[in-house]
Amino acid sequence: MAQLSPAVPSQLQHRSQRNDCAAPLPAFTGESLAHTHTLLPSLAARLRHKSLQEALDCVHSQEQTKAASTLCGLEIALLDALGKAEGCAVSTLLSPLASTPRAAVPVNAVIGAKATRSAVAAARDAKKNGFRCIKLKVGLGLSAHEEIERVASVRDATGPAMHLRLDANEAWHLEEAIAILSQCVPYDIQYIEQPLEAHDLVGMRTLRQAIPIPLAADEAVHSLESARLVLESEAADILVIKPQLAGGLRVSQQMIRLATERGVQSVITSSLEAGIGLAAELHLAAASPAVTLACGLATLDLLIDDLLIDELPVRAGFLPVPPGPGLGIELDRQALDRYCVRGFA
């Protein structure tokens, strides 16, 4: 039986294999490196002398809301180690029985340019590069008329075949959202993401009833319990699931199952992780038959550098799953040394 050696805080040593996990993003989770550094030794003590599967079960049983990204990173390292030990991909480990994981996952381009001309140029570039879905950031301080004209211009640039979704990042109040979105109906919007503040589930339900555009909950979904609350409140047609915020890949699978049981779709989206976390989320999406919409995983270009030797390239709007056991990635040790925060290694 595969056993874990005494764990190093940021790494797992399994036989001769070293498995790295990613650091938390304080702006997203509220966790700090100091908090993670304090927490990991106690977690490591619980994992000593356990099999990889037992260690995974132990991590999964922890309270995710207090250390979501820490637990997610640790789970990713364990899944990578287990996949390598068993000679299979993480997506295979996560796939339901009798289900074959996808070799590639559809992903969306993201356009955040406020100026209409720049947004249109970015939309044309996305189409030229083979993307079949675009997420256009809205709620950027424009007037209602300017907002609608910007959406119309992007739709005109992409043509009708492109899936166009909007993301307001909690920018609007209910009346404003109704006024703007009712005028966007002719532009065939796939969905509008988090138009209202995350806590306003009553408003989200009212908005769902007022407009024909599907609503996606993003900031409102940050744990299994929050996902359950959104679903029970009938506040969304789609859940946007970020595994690092949720506490891991397996709790994200629970969220997907809850949504599917209620006829609600799910989308896997990054929290702007580097390649380790993004590869893990890609494996999760590939292993999830219920996730059919384009996922928000084409985000590595937003970073100035990465930790992987080989890039995760988007090809014709799809992100191929890295082949090979575990996550299927090779880490750039020099990059790890460059970005390691001394005192926490």
Q: Where are the alpha helices (DSSP H) in the chain?
A: 26-29, 33-47, 52-60, 68-86, 90-94, 116-128, 144-158, 174-184, 201-210, 224-232, 243-246, 249-261, 275-286, 333-339
Could you list the active site residues?
137, 242
Q: What is the DSSP pairing of strand 163-167 with strand 189-193?
A: parallel
DSSP assignment of 280-341, as one string? HHHHHHHT-TT--SPBB---GGGSS--SBSS----BTTEEEPPPSSBT---B-HHHHHHH--
Residue 278 has which token pair?
């993004």
Give every CB contact of residue 289 below 8 A, 6+ residues apart in sequence.
96, 99
What distance in Å separates the CA atoms of residue 11 and residue 34, rounded to the nearest whole number?
16
Confirm if 230 and 217 have CB atoms less than 8 A apart. Answer: yes
